[in-house]
Amino acid sequence: MGVSEFKAEDQFRKVMGICCLFFVLGAVLFAFVPDTMVAILNWIGHLFSKRSVAPIISKIPVDNYWATFYGDMPKFEGLAQLPSHGMYVALAVAYMVMIATICGAIFYDPKRYGLYAPLVILGKLASSLTGLGLYLWSYPYFVNLIVFITDFPIALIILFFYLRARSSLTAATPSA
């Protein structure tokens, strides 16, 4: 392995280690303070447009939720409170833990686990394009746009360093 291949692999390893730390932090924040994260992003989004403020679902009554998002309100007995973002939090935490684990494994041994990087790239591309799609066609909230603003560049950065290091990673992989 040449010096440039070693350097590219080392840079890829470091990028994946940094991503692992960020994704662990994301999992912790999604798990313990999801409403606070939405509130902070709303505050930032409000600086640009009052329209980009997303409702914190767990804080609004069910009848207001239905009237806001669906127009016609079904008949509820009394004023029920919506549950927190439970399903979304569970999915977000699970996703962040999964990609943090992959990034951590690649950081630990890029030759052995480096070929799993496309899974992280695909996940980040999927989440970024979903966030952009939600922002453009469904809910024009800053929280949806920030998913695209953060995840798309992460996918491109990982792709760049993966492609640079790929030749040294595949050269070390035994063929069957």
Residue 58 confidence (pLDDT): 57
Q: What is the pLDDT of residues 95-135, one digit of tens each?
A: 999 999 999 999 999 999 999 999 999 999 999 999 999 99
pTM: 0.80
Residue 164 confidence (pLDDT): 93
Q: Does the structure show a pLDDT above 70 at 61?
A: no
What's CA 148's distance to the chain center, in Å? 9
Q: What is the mean pLDDT of residues 69-92?
A: 60
Residue 173 confidence (pLDDT): 52
What angle in degrees, to the nearest 10, is found between the helix axes of 117-137 and 3-32?
Answer: 50
Residue 51 confidence (pLDDT): 72
Q: Does the structure show a pLDDT above 60 at 174?
A: no
Q: What is the mean pLDDT of residues 30-40?
A: 86
Nearest-angstrom CA–CA distance, 65 and 139: 14
Residue 2 confidence (pLDDT): 64
Q: Looking at residue 79, what DSSP letter applies?
A: -
Residue 130 confidence (pLDDT): 95
